[in-house]
Amino acid sequence: MQHSKTQDTMVGLFVAIGIAALFFMALQISNLGSYSSGDSYTISANFQNSGGLKVKSPVSVAGVKIGRVSSITLNNESHEAVVEMRIEAQYNNLPDDSGASIYTAGLLGEQYISIDPGSSEDYLQDKSKIDITSSAIVLEEMIGKFMLNKAEGK
């Protein structure tokens, strides 16, 4: 039965390596390692233009990621983009007069929401809304304005 024993060991080793590879994929390759413990609350903000913002884009304060965009819908009456964000529960002391802006990481990079904390004593709660927003900068629009200014200046 010696043969069968080494065979079992080899199979055990193979399965162990396979499972280790799965864990490696889960933790090192995908975003599972950086998932929050699950507790979170939702806030929303209206933007004139959400640009290239996508669901799962990061939400950050001072460059530190505190949550993700959970949905982007259009308000049918005001024709504004309603962006909902899930913020991790540990960041529960954002002042309620904070502002939200859409920025681009690098010139052509991914778009993300940056929250500039205000100075109010009251904090943003679940389902509360950020009123002060600034839209995504659309590169074509900027270039268009720049060209127009140039032409008028002459």
Partner 1 sequence: MFEFLEHLGKDTRNSFAKLGRATFFLIHTLTGIGEVLPRPSLLMKQMYSVGVLSFLIIAISGLFVGMVLGLQGFYILSDFGAEESLGLMVAASLVRELGPVVSALLFAGRAGSALTAEIGLMKATEQLSGMEMMAVDPINRIISPRFLAGIISMPLLAAIFSAVGVIGGHLVGVGMLGVDDGAFWAQMQSGLDFNEDIINGIIKSIVFGFVVSWIALFEGYDTIPTSEGVSRATTRTVVNSAFSILGLDFILTALMFGDI
Q: At closest approach, how far in Å is the CB of 35 from partner 1?
A: 8
Nearest residue to 85 via CA among 99, 66, 106: 66
Pairwise CA distance, residues 149 & 123, whole Å: 42
Q: Would you say 11 or 143 has its CB closer to partner 1?
A: 11
Nearest residue to 57 via CA among 111, 138, 3: 111
Q: At closest approach, how far in Å is the CB of 131 from partner 1?
A: 29
Q: Would you say 15 or 147 has its CB closer to partner 1?
A: 15
Dihedral (CA of 134, 137, 142, 145) sign? negative
Q: At closest approach, how far in Å is the CB of 69 from partner 1?
A: 13
Q: At closest approach, how far in Å is the CB of 72 from partner 1?
A: 16
Q: Would you say 10 or 132 has its CB closer to partner 1?
A: 10
Residue ranges that bind partner 1, judged by CB under 8 A: 4, 7-8, 10-11, 13-15, 17-22, 24-26, 28-35, 56, 58
Pairwise CA distance, residues 105 & 120, whole Å: 28
